[in-house]
Amino acid sequence: MNSDKERAINISPDKVCAAYAGKKRRKKLALQTYKEEETGADMILIEGEADALEFLGNVLLAQAKFDKDCGFFFGPRTAGNAFFDKNRSTHGLYIHRLPCLEEKNLKLAKPIK
């Protein structure tokens, strides 16, 4: 059985979003892809003020612990768009914890070429 501490942190990413949505001056995330100059490697830039990065960290932690759903997504032109700088974000985020709870999610998580 899970300890009280483990049970207390087993909240959904949606609840994390709801908690941060109530903040008056919510900071925004920006997600973009770019090519790193020295190596030419394709990179993902996650940018934001400290509060925005803390929010993203809490969403990741919540998804890691939430045992009722293995996937969560949000982005600048979809659910959760209030957390994104729509002028600077070219991508959203799909967080998929393994093992998958639904076989169909494995088909959705293929990289875009």
**Full DSSP string of the chain:** ---HHHHHT---HHHHHHHHHT-TT---BEEEEEE-TTT--EEEEEE--HHHHHHHHHHHHHHHH-SS-SEEEE-TTSTTGGGB-TTT----EEEEPSSPSSHHHHHHTPPP-
The percent of residues above 90 in pLDDT, for the chain, comes to 74
Mean pLDDT of the chain: 87
Residue 81 lies in a domain: yes
Task: Answer whether residue 24 shows pLDDT above 90.
Answer: no
Task: Answer whether residue 69 shows pLDDT above 80.
Answer: yes
Residue 113 lies in a domain: no
- Mean pLDDT to the nearest integer, 88-109: 83
Residue 49 lies in a domain: yes
Residue 24 lies in a domain: yes
Residue 15 lies in a domain: yes
- In this prediction, residue 68 has a pLDDT band, given cuts at 50, 70 and 90, of very high
- In this prediction, residue 1 has a pLDDT band, given cuts at 50, 70 and 90, of very low
Range of the structural domain that residue 73 is part of: 4-108
Residue 77 lies in a domain: yes
The number of folded domains in the chain is 1
Summarize pLDDT for 74-96 with one digit per residue, the tens.
Answer: 999 999 999 999 999 999 999 99
